[in-house]
Amino acid sequence: MNTAFHYILPLACFSGLAAHAGGPKQNTSKPNVILIYADDLGYGDLECYGAKNIETPHVNRLASEGIRFTNAHATAATCTPSRYSLLTGEYAWRKPGTDIAAGNAGMIIRPEQYTMADIFKSSGYATGAFGKWHLGLGDKTAQQDWNAPLPTALGDLGFDYSYIMAATADRVPCVFIENGQVANYDPSAPIEVSYTHNFPGEPTGKDNPELLYNLKPSNGHNMSIVNGISRIGFMKGGGKALWKDENIADSITAHAVSFIEQHKDEPFFMYFATNDVHVPRFPHDRFRGKNPMGLRGDAIAQFDWTVGQLLEALERTGLAENTLIILSSDNGPVVDDGYDDQAEKLLNGHKPSGNLRGGKYSAFEGGTRVPVIVRWPKIIRQPEVSDALISQIDWAASLASLVGARLPKGSVPDSQNRMNTLLGKDKTDRPWVIEQASNHALSVRTKNWKYIEPSSGVPFMYWGPKIETGYLETPQLYNMEQAGEKENLATQHPEKVFELEQILREVRKE
Ligand code: NG6
Ligand code: CA
């Protein structure tokens, strides 16, 4: 089924890219690439995608200078599998152990795998990763020693530099990891982490709710308390290395900006994964109270500010023209994801999924249809909106083709080169995209149809998230052109169900 390399489009195809003999240094013709990856940002959460109650001027600007996609898909409705697929070009459901990772999980992508970072590194790029990782670190599956360099980390996956959070802000350890070691390490406060037991004498949200002074949990999140917020998992120590939640965006942005400045004379690839708008939402004071949506809106505003800082750094260094920026999100939105931050009460008519059904975790479109904006001023001269069907699974092979990387046999196995579509040169639909819900149900989406395979699980997450899951024990078929995911037409169109099931069987290699 793999139709990779249909559209070969090497760097030299672009006007100006090969014409540098005698001009600036040859390598300056290679575009810098920045992948801005938001967390849980929904299809309807940006002003340029119709959001009300929130201003996102910097992202709007990207959209008005680039291609804004309206039918773009993440590969999964939760973080870890989505990021795994993005960075390896392999569907996460092929690999066991790619579900939402604990904060002390071993590194899920193994050093021998060829990653998006390897693609750039092998093509002479400086490579950096910033922000949320959530793909495990180290060799073992538990009991990492956080007081020493981790045995394996992003340096083994092609990243020259990394400044990351091991998992999420709601999971311990609450420290940044810089190049495989705790940043700003405090030897007077050794770090211990466990996902099975607490450490004697350490307070938890469950036993010491009186110590929660920033956010209280609404569901789970009642283990170790850091900065007055209880988290998933137990940790002890950290001292001055512990992050301050209100400074997370500032900190990862500052490190990314300095990476841009340091590498302004050579091509670089930056994987920039924000903590926003994942829980716990605890944005800096300067973003608070400026929109009617409370902390979730403030976190979106903080995300937008972050984008603005990167744009400003590119302009300051003279790199904006030849930098390809791709902005997207790892999965759909959730309003109450386990902290009592009033997000639901304050929506004020805002629809995080836009008009799509479901959200994060769902098999429905809200789980995986995400904003995608591509800007590259040097090449994209005509900003537009594209309704081409695209998937993040293809970005590894597309970017490899862009920079002329030679891919080792078997690498990025599910990824196809669709760079022309990403750059708005055509609007070719992918024949189908595959999406994974959090219960592992797979869907096949074509331009006109969507098939959701039978699976078990609750139809509605009636607790905090209050999300329609799209799980049903019988096949579902929706006509996406006509009615979206409103009416299940599986019994009316058995031949269509069969056809889409067949695609799934072939992709699964059953
Ligand atoms: C869930 C967490 C949720 C979030 C999610 C992962 C609870 C009750 N819910 O288990 O808060 O952390 O995992 O989100 O603990 S993701 O975007 O990283 O996939
Ligand atoms: Ca996420």
Residue 20's pLDDT band, with cuts at 50, 70 and 90, is very low
The two structure tokens encoding residue 103: 């904060």
The model scores a pTM over 0.90: yes
DSSP per residue over 181-221, as a string?
EETT--TTS--EEESS-PPTT--BTTT-GGG--SB-BSSS-
Among all bound ligands, the one having the nearest atom to the CA of 39 is: 2
The whole-angstrom separation of Cα 252 and Cα 161 is 13
Q: pLDDT by residue (tens digit) across 76-93?
A: 999 999 999 999 999 999
Range scoring the smallest mean pLDDT among 13-22, 155-164, 252-261: 13-22
ω into residue 377 within 30 of 0, thus cis?
no
Question: Do the strands 72-73 and 390-391 form a parallel or antiparallel pair, or are they unpaired?
Answer: parallel
Range scoring the smallest mean pLDDT among 27-36, 197-206, 429-438, 477-486: 27-36
Residue 459's pLDDT band, with cuts at 50, 70 and 90, is very high
Long-range contacts of 194-197, Cβ-Cβ distance < 8 Å, separation of 24 or more: 194/104, 194/143, 194/233, 194/234, 194/235, 195/102, 195/103, 195/104, 195/142, 195/232, 195/233, 195/234, 197/234
Coil, strand, or helix at residue 380? coil
Average confidence (pLDDT) over 134-155: 91
pLDDT surpassing 70 at residue 133: yes
Q: pLDDT by residue (tens digit) across 237-270?
A: 999 999 999 999 999 999 999 999 999 999 999 9
Q: pLDDT by residue (tens digit) across 398-444?
A: 999 999 999 999 999 999 999 999 999 999 999 999 999 999 999 99
Q: pLDDT by residue (tens digit) across 270-316?
A: 999 999 999 999 999 999 998 999 999 999 999 999 999 999 999 99
| 399 CA → ligand 1 middle, Å | 30
DSSP state of 229: E
116 touches ligand 1 (CB under 6 Å): no
83 touches ligand 1 (CB under 6 Å): no
Chain-centre distance for alpha carbon 195: 24
Helical residues (DSSP H) of 28-114, grouped into ranges: 57-64, 79-88
The whole-angstrom separation of Cα 170 and Cα 108 is 19
pLDDT surpassing 70 at residue 16: no
The whole-angstrom separation of Cα 113 and Cα 137 is 14
Asked if residues 16 and 428 have their Cβ atoms less than 8 Å apart, the reply is: no
| 447 CA → ligand 1 middle, Å | 30
pLDDT surpassing 80 at residue 22: no
Closest residue to atom 16 of ligand 1, CA basis: 79
DSSP state of 234: E
DSSP state of 286: G
| 187 CA → ligand 1 middle, Å | 31
Phi-psi region of 4 (alpha: psi -120 to 50; beta: other; left: phi over 0): beta
pLDDT, residue 143, reads: 78
Average confidence (pLDDT) over 103-124: 97
pLDDT surpassing 50 at residue 494: yes
Count of other CB atoms within 10 angstroms of residue 124:
14
Distances (CA, A) of 317 to 88, 158, 314, 444, 464: 30, 25, 5, 43, 44
pLDDT surpassing 80 at residue 493: yes
CATH tag for 32-186+243-424 (out of 3.40.720.10, 3.30.43.10, 3.40.50.970, 3.30.70.20): 3.40.720.10
pLDDT surpassing 70 at residue 458: yes
40 touches ligand 1 (CB under 6 Å): yes
| 88 CA → ligand 2 middle, Å | 17
Asked if residues 117 and 269 have their Cβ atoms less than 8 Å apart, the reply is: yes
What is the chain's mean pLDDT, rounded? 94
The whole-angstrom separation of Cα 153 and Cα 453 is 36
The two structure tokens encoding residue 325: 């920026």
DSSP per residue over 113-134, as a string?
S--HHHHHHHTT-EEEEEEE--
pLDDT, residue 245, reads: 98
Residue of 483, 482, 425, 485 whose CA lies nearest to 451: 485
Q: How many residues does the chain have?
A: 510
Coil, strand, or helix at residue 398? helix
DSSP H or E segment with residue 442: strand 442-445
For tokens 């959209």, the residue is 63
Closest atom, ligand 1, to C-alpha of 219:
8
| 45 CA → ligand 2 middle, Å | 14
pLDDT surpassing 60 at residue 27: no
pLDDT surpassing 90 at residue 483: no
Among 40, 79, 83, 224, name the best residue to mutate to test ligand 1's pocket (greatest count of ligand atoms within 8 A of Cβ).
Answer: 79
The two structure tokens encoding residue 3: 């139709």
For tokens 């579902």, the residue is 476
Asked if residues 227 and 187 have their Cβ atoms less than 8 Å apart, the reply is: no
The whole-angstrom separation of Cα 141 and Cα 311 is 38
DSSP state of 171: B
pLDDT surpassing 70 at residue 346: yes
336 touches ligand 1 (CB under 6 Å): no
Range scoring the smallest mean pLDDT among 1-15, 219-233, 318-332: 1-15
Name the residue ranges covered by the structural domains of the chain.
32-186+243-424, 434-509
The whole-angstrom separation of Cα 286 and Cα 295 is 12
Count of other CB atoms within 10 angstroms of residue 185:
18
The whole-angstrom separation of Cα 67 and Cα 320 is 16
Among all bound ligands, the one having the nearest atom to the CA of 165 is: 1
276 touches ligand 1 (CB under 6 Å): no
- CATH topology classification for 434-509: Arylsulfatase, C-terminal domain (3.30.1120)
The whole-angstrom separation of Cα 267 and Cα 28 is 6
Residue 141's pLDDT band, with cuts at 50, 70 and 90, is low
The whole-angstrom separation of Cα 128 and Cα 253 is 12
Asked if residues 195 and 104 have their Cβ atoms less than 8 Å apart, the reply is: yes
